[in-house]
Structure 1
Amino acid sequence: MNAYDLVVIGGGSAGLTAARTAGRFGDRTLLVERDRLGGDCLWTGCVPSKALLHVAAEVRTARSVGVYGLAAASGPADLPAAMGHVKQAIAAIEPHDSAEALSPFGVEVAHGPAVFTGPRTLTVGSREISFRYAVIATGSSPALVPVPGLAEANPLTSDTVWEVAELPERLVVLGGGPIGCELAQAFARLGSKVTLMEKLDRLLPGEEPRASQVTRERLEAEGITVLTGYRAEKVADGAVYGPDGSIAYDALLAVTGRRANTAELGLEAAGVELTEQGAVQVDDRLRTSNARIYAAGDVTGLSAFTHLGGVQGGAAATDALLGVRRRIDYTSVPWVTYTDPEVARVGLTAEEARRQHGDRVRVHSLDNDRVDRAVSDGRTEGFTSLVLGPRGRIVGATVVSPRAGETIAHLATAVRLGWTASNYAKTVHPYPTYADGPWHTALTDVYARLARGSRAIGALLALRRLVRR
Structure 2
Amino acid sequence: MTFTHDVIVIGAGAAGLTAAGGCALFGLEVALIEGHKMGGECLNNGCVPSKALITAAKRAAVARDGKRFGITLCAPQVDWAGVHGHIHQAIANIEHHDSVETFEEMGCDVFRGWARITGKHTVEVDGRQLRAPRIVIATGSAPFVPPIDGLDSVPYLTNENLFDIDVLPGHLVIVGGGVIGMEMAQSFRRLGSEVTVIEPGEPMGRDDPDSVAVVVDAMTAEGVRFIKGKAARVEGGEGRVSVHTDGGDTVTGTHLLIAVGRSARVNGFGAQEIGIETGANGFTTDARRRTSIRSIYAIGDCREGPRLTHVSGYEGSNVALEIVTGLPTKVDFSALPWCTYTEPEVAQIGLTEVDARKQHGDAITVVREEFSENERAVAEASTLGHMKMILKGKKVLGVSIVGKNAGELLLPFTQTITGKSSTFALGSAIISYPTRSEISKAAAFSAWEPTVFGSLPRKYAALVSKLRRMMN
**TM-score category, normalised to shorter length:** over 0.9
Aligned to 2:256: 252
Q: 1:75 to 1:424 in 2, by over 3 A?
A: closer
CA distance in 1, matches of 2:70, 2:170: 30
> What SS is found at the alignment partner of 1:186?
helix
Percent same amino acid among aligned pairs?
34
Backbone CA RMSD of aligned residues: 1.9
SS of match in other structure, 1:286: coil
Output the amino acid matched with 1:30: A
Deviation at 1:233, TM superposition (A): 1.9
Separation of aligned partners in 2, 1:39 and 1:32:
12
Deviation at 1:421, TM superposition (A): 2.9
Tell me the CA shift for residue 55 of structure 1. Answer: 0.6
Cα deviation for residue 358 of structure 1 reads: 2.4
Q: Which amino acid aligns with 2:213?
A: Q
Spell out, residue by residue over 1:282-305, the C-alpha distance to the aligned partner (whole angstroms, 9 max, x if none): 111111111111111011122311
Matched residue, 2:235: 236
Does structure 1 residue 311 correspond to structure 2 residue 314? yes
Matched, 1:425 2:427: yes
Inter-partner Cα distance in structure 2 for 1:294 and 1:50: 30
- What's 1:226 paired with? 226
3-state SS in 2 of match to 1:417: coil
Query: What are the superposed Cα offsets for residues 390-440 of structure 1, whole Å, 9 maximum, x if unpaired?
Result: x31111001111111111112222212265432321222221111111211
- Stretches of structure 2 lacking an aligned partner (at least 5 in a row): 464-472
Q: CA deviation at 1:2?
A: 7.3
For the Cα contact (< 8 Å) 1:144–1:151, is it kept in 2? no
TM-superposed CA distance for 1:122, in Å, is 1.6
Q: Distance in 2 between matches of 1:209 and 1:38?
A: 34
The 8 Å contact of residues 77 and 190 in structure 1, kept in 2 or not, is answered as yes
Secondary structure, aligned partner of 2:142? strand
Separation in structure 1 between the aligned mates of residue 427 and residue 396 of structure 2, nearest angstrom: 12
The one-letter amino acid of 2:413's match is: L
CA separation in 2, counterparts of 1:197 and 1:167? 20
Q: Which residue of 2 aligns with 1:334?
A: 337
1:450 counterpart residue number: 452
For 1:302 and 1:137, locate their aligned partners in 2 and report how far apart those are by CA, in whole Å.
13
C-alpha separation in 2, matches of 1:455 and 1:264 = 66
For 1:210, the equivalent position in structure 2 comes to 210
Q: How many residues align?
A: 456
The residue that corresponds to 2:54 in the other structure is 53
Aligned partner of 1:439: which letter? K
What corresponds to 2:128 in structure 1? Answer: 127
- What amino acid is the match of 2:199? E
TM-score by length of 2: 0.92
1:272 maps to a residue whose letter is: I
CA contact under 8 A between 2:3 and 2:133: conserved in structure 1? Answer: no
Confirm or deny that 1:9 pairs with 2:13. Answer: no
Pair 1:197-2:198 in alignment = yes
2:377 corresponds to: 374
- What is the Cα deviation at residue 455 of structure 1? 9.3
Q: For 1:383 and 1:360, locate their aligned partners in 2 and report how far apart those are by CA, in whole Å.
A: 22
1:408 counterpart residue number: 410
Matched residue of 2:243: which SS?
A: strand
TM-aligned CA deviation for residue 70 of structure 1: 5.0
On the 8 A contact 1:394/1:419 being kept in 2, the answer is no
Q: CA deviation at 1:139?
A: 0.4
Code of the aligned partner of 1:236: E
Structure 1 unaligned runs (5+)? 462-469
Q: What is residue 365 of structure 2 aligned with on the other side?
A: 362
Q: Distance in 2 between matches of 1:102 and 1:418?
A: 34
Q: How does 1:22-421 map to 2 (within 5 A)?
A: 22-68=23-69, 71-74=72-75, 77-200=78-201, 202-227=202-227, 229-237=228-236, 238-242=241-245, 243-275=247-279, 277-389=280-392, 391-417=393-419, 419-421=421-423
Would you say the 8 A contact 2:31–2:111 is kept in 1?
yes
TM-score by length of 1: 0.93
CA contact (8 A) 1:120 1:292 kept: yes
1:401–1:434 Cα contact (<8 Å) kept: no
Question: Do 2:415 and 2:422's aligned partners in 1 also have CA atoms closer than 8 Å?
Answer: no
